[in-house]
């Protein structure tokens, strides 16, 4: 399987590069930046949805699966992109949003008009009593997960925004439509697919959640999930030898993921799981802040590495995406140690067993946006939760602080290309404000610096492409009880690679048998190996022995 030497770069197209002066990123803008991506060395670009959408959730509310939103460009632009990317050795991965459609999608409109066929594309239930939804499930974007439609005296399910109606995967016609959409994009030459919240498609029972939680136990990793994925695989991308697929798995388990991404399970090539990105959620609550619990982070990464490896299944490796705050602000230090901590985080994740994903701007160490006014936010989740948290009695200051740490817009601010106004992203006001850091943190300056975060990523990418131990090596945790250091070995035949990472801004000591090892890469120039090493703030060392 070819996935083991691949590196995927994620582009949030709305924020990457505007070429036609409307403050929105677009396909031609991406084309103009392909040489930059080639220089970085990545093999795939995953694009967040660029298809027709009312943009209530930035393209995750799909109104038409087969046409580009004209603000991004045309099918001709896409063909040019695909061929220009290919010339640079880069393939394309598209985002398939199949758990729900926009309520603007023709299927939903025809459902509302009363066409039985399309009504069955969605999930409708009677309320428990007049004005009372069918059950207590909560939308992931706040409030009930049900919306009442008077005409039918029924409620439709929306696990996300009220304009994102859940599709009824129990209906074989829906499953066929989804396979046809994948096949449409295959016919356009796309063989990489990322499936949005794909482990939520099989729902079971519509009871109240007795834990007074949000209902996720009834719709996560549901009973027909593996069957649906195998069917989709068989009827679409599985027919391509060179496919690369990844499923976004919400609140999942290792036990399920060894099936979703098992070598022979004929479902997907790999999975995103998010447990390691909840270690700074107080009591598992996204909107309650705490410092990251590094011991929990180590434990979770280790469990997933070992659990997947044991069953020959494959992880996607990542700290960042368009839904997560910036890792350098979250697990590093975006002030005194921005460069050191960004590099350490990169090494810590890239040397693991799996396929690394780099989110736009991560390779130059972009920090969080640090907006100070609610009007600067666009994300539907952020603006919804702002109201909820205020209602719950938090002060405005407190809520804005929470959003500075947690809002998805932290990841979505325009890509920082240079230090001119709007960071070289656009020459007009962008759809989302540029983060204030662009004067210090931008691609132009980064490329002039021989010691930059970008160069460090280039090295990590090169190592994955060239070294079997990085591609194939077995993972083994080291220093499991160390409170500051996350260290592990990758072993392949008689080759051994050790990755040692200090997750804190203070010196710490670590004892490891490093005789015979040489340093391949570090974020400090004068790093030395000894059986007892003193690691400086956020120091990372990749050591190798054959
Ligand atoms: O995200 C799924 C998801 O559940 C999240 O990461 C979500 O942002 C978070 O749980 C809210 O607290 C996917 C997409 O990546 C996201 O951008 C979409 O908004 C969402 O699905 C709906 O399609």
Q: What is the pLDDT of residues 249-278, one digit of tens each?
A: 999 999 999 999 999 999 999 999 999 999
The CATH fold of domain 8-99+172-457: TIM Barrel (3.20.20)
Q: 57 in ligand 1 pocket by Cβ < 6 Å?
A: yes
Name the residue of 196, 201, 280, 386 whose CB sits within 8 Å of the most ligand 1 atoms, as the mutation to test its pocket: 196
For residue 2, the model assigns a pLDDT of: 77
| Closest Cα to atom 23 of ligand 1 | 60
Q: 77 in ligand 1 pocket by Cβ < 6 Å?
A: no
Q: 196 in ligand 1 pocket by Cβ < 6 Å?
A: yes
Ligand 1 centre from 224 Cα, in Å? 22
Ligand 1 centre from 95 Cα, in Å? 12
pLDDT tens per residue, range 201-221: 999 889 899 886 789 999 999
For residue 301, the model assigns a pLDDT of: 98
Q: 17 in ligand 1 pocket by Cβ < 6 Å?
A: no
If you average pLDDT over residues 509-517, what whole number do you get? 95
Distance CA 433, CA 377 (A): 8
Q: 38 in ligand 1 pocket by Cβ < 6 Å?
A: no
For residue 212, the model assigns a pLDDT of: 66
Tokens of 177: 């439509």
Atom of ligand 1 nearest to the CA of 57: 19
Please say whether the beta carbons of 485 and 535 come within 8 A. Answer: yes
pLDDT tens per residue, range 395-428: 999 999 999 999 999 999 999 999 999 999 999 9
Ligand 1 centre from 209 Cα, in Å? 21
Can you identify the CATH homologous superfamily of domain 473-545?
A: Golgi alpha-mannosidase II (2.60.40.1180)
Q: 358 in ligand 1 pocket by Cβ < 6 Å?
A: no
pLDDT tens per residue, range 115-136: 999 999 999 999 999 999 999 9
Is 94's pLDDT higher than 90? yes
Ligand 1 centre from 248 Cα, in Å? 9
| Closest Cα to atom 4 of ligand 1 | 250
Distance CA 206, CA 68 (A): 35
As annotated, the active-site residues are 196, 248
SS3 state of residue 226: helix
Ligand 1 centre from 35 Cα, in Å? 30
Atom of ligand 1 nearest to the CA of 322: 17
Alpha helices in 129-212 (DSSP H): 172-187
Q: 140 in ligand 1 pocket by Cβ < 6 Å?
A: yes
Atom of ligand 1 nearest to the CA of 381: 11
Q: 323 in ligand 1 pocket by Cβ < 6 Å?
A: yes
Ligand 1 centre from 250 Cα, in Å? 8
**What is the residue-wise DSSP string for 78-140?**
HHHHHHHHHHTT-EEEEEE--SEEETTSHHHHHHHTT-HHHHTTB-EE--SBTTB-SS--B-T
Classify 106-166 by CATH class.
alpha beta
Atom of ligand 1 nearest to the CA of 321: 15
Ligand 1 centre from 487 Cα, in Å? 30
Atom of ligand 1 nearest to the CA of 97: 23
Is 1's pLDDT higher than 60? no
Please say whether the beta carbons of 512 and 329 come within 8 A. Answer: no
Distance CA 425, CA 67 (A): 25
Q: 489 in ligand 1 pocket by Cβ < 6 Å?
A: no
| Rg of the chain (C-alpha set) | 23
| Closest Cα to atom 20 of ligand 1 | 60
| Closest Cα to atom 7 of ligand 1 | 323
Query: pTM above 0.95?
Result: yes
Ligand 1 centre from 323 Cα, in Å? 6
| Closest Cα to atom 14 of ligand 1 | 196
Atom of ligand 1 nearest to the CA of 274: 6
Distance CA 402, CA 287 (A): 7
pLDDT tens per residue, range 432-475: 999 999 999 999 999 999 999 999 999 999 999 999 999 999 99
Ligand 1 centre from 513 Cα, in Å? 43
Per domain, the residue ranges of the chain are 8-99+172-457, 106-166, 473-545
Ligand 1 centre from 169 Cα, in Å? 19
pLDDT tens per residue, range 355-394: 999 999 999 999 999 999 999 999 999 999 999 999 999 9
Name the residue of 11, 54, 60, 381 whose CB sits within 8 Å of the most ligand 1 atoms, as the mutation to test its pocket: 60
Please say whether the beta carbons of 5 and 467 come within 8 A. Answer: no
Q: Which long-range contacts (CB under 8 A, 24 or more apart) does 63-69 make?
A: 63/101, 63/102, 63/104, 63/105, 63/106, 64/105, 64/106, 65/181, 65/184, 66/181, 66/184, 68/27
| Closest Cα to atom 8 of ligand 1 | 323
Secondary element (H or E) of residue 358: strand 355-359
Please say whether the beta carbons of 267 and 259 come within 8 A. Answer: yes
Alpha helices in 311-359 (DSSP H): 327-330, 338-350
pLDDT tens per residue, range 519-541: 999 999 998 898 899 999 999 99
Q: 250 in ligand 1 pocket by Cβ < 6 Å?
A: yes
Distance CA 546, CA 474 (A): 15
Atom of ligand 1 nearest to the CA of 60: 23
pLDDT tens per residue, range 293-349: 999 999 999 999 999 999 999 999 999 999 999 999 999 999 999 999 999 999 999
Dihedrals φ, ψ of 417, to 5°?
Answer: -90, -35
């Amino acid at each position: 399987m070819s996935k083991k030497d691949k590196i995927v770069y994620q582009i949030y197209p709305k924020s990457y590069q505007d070429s036609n002066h409307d403050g929105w990123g677009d396909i031609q803008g991406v084309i103009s930046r392909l040489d930059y991506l080639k220089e970085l060395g990545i093999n795939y670009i995953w694009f967040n949805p660029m298809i027709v959408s009312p943009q209530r959730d930035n393209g995750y509310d799909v109104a038409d699966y087969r046409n580009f939103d004209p603000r991004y460009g045309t099918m001709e632009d896409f063909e040019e992109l695909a061929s220009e990317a290919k010339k640079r050795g880069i393939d394309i991965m598209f985002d398939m949003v199949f758990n729900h459609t926009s309520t603007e999608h023709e299927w939903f409109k025809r459902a509302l008009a009363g066409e039985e066929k399309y009504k069955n594309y969605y999930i409708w239930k009677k309320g428990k009593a007049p004005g009372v939804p069918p059950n207590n499930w909560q939308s992931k974007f706040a409030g009930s997960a049900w919306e009442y439609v008077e005409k039918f005296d029924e409620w439709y399910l929306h696990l996300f925004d009220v304009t994102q109606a859940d599709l009824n995967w129990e209906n074989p016609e829906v499953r066929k439509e989804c396979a046809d959409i994948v096949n449409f994009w295959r016919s356009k030459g796309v063989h990489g697919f990322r499936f949005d919240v794909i482990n939520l498609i099989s729902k079971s029972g519509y009871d109240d959640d007795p834990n007074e939680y949000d209902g996720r136990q009834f719709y996560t990793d549901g009973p027909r999930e593996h069957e649906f994925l195998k069917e989709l695989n068989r009827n679409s991308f599985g027919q391509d030898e060179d496919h690369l697929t990844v499923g976004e798995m919400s609140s999942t388990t290792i036990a399920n993921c060894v099936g979703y991404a098992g070598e022979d399970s004929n479902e997907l090539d790999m999975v995103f799981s998010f447990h390691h990105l909840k270690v700074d959620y107080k009591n598992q609550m996204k909107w309650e802040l705490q410092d990251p619990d590094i011991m929990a982070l180590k434990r979770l990464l280790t469990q997933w590495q070992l659990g997947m490896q044991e069953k020959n299944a494959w992880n996607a490796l990542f700290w960042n995406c368009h839904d997560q705050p910036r890792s350098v602000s979250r697990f590093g230090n975006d002030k005194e140690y921005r460069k050191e901590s960004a590099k350490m985080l990169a090494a810590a994740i890239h040397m693991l067993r799996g396929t690394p994903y780099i989110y736009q701007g991560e390779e130059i160490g972009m920090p969080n946006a640090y907006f100070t006014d609610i009007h600067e936010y666009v994300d539907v989740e952020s603006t919804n939760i702002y109201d909820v948290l205020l209602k719950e009695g938090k002060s405005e200051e407190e809520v804005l602080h929470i959003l500075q740490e947690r809002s998805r817009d932290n990841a979505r601010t325009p890509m920082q290309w240079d230090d001119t106004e709007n960071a070289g992203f656009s020459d007009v006001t962008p759809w989302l404000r540029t983060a204030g850091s662009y004067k210090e943190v931008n691609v132009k300056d980064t490329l002039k610096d021989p010691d930059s975060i970008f160069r460090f990523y280039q090295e990590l990418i090169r190592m994955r492409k060239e070294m079997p131990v990085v591609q194939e090596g077995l993972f083994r945790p080291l220093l499991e009880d160390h409170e500051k250091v996350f260290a592990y070995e990758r072993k392949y035949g008689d080759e051994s690679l050790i990755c040692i990472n200090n997750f804190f801004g203070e010196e710490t000591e670590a004892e490891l048998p490093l005789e015979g090892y040489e340093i391949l890469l570090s974020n400090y120039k004068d790093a030395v190996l000894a059986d007892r090493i003193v690691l400086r703030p956020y120091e990372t060392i990749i050591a190798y022995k054959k």
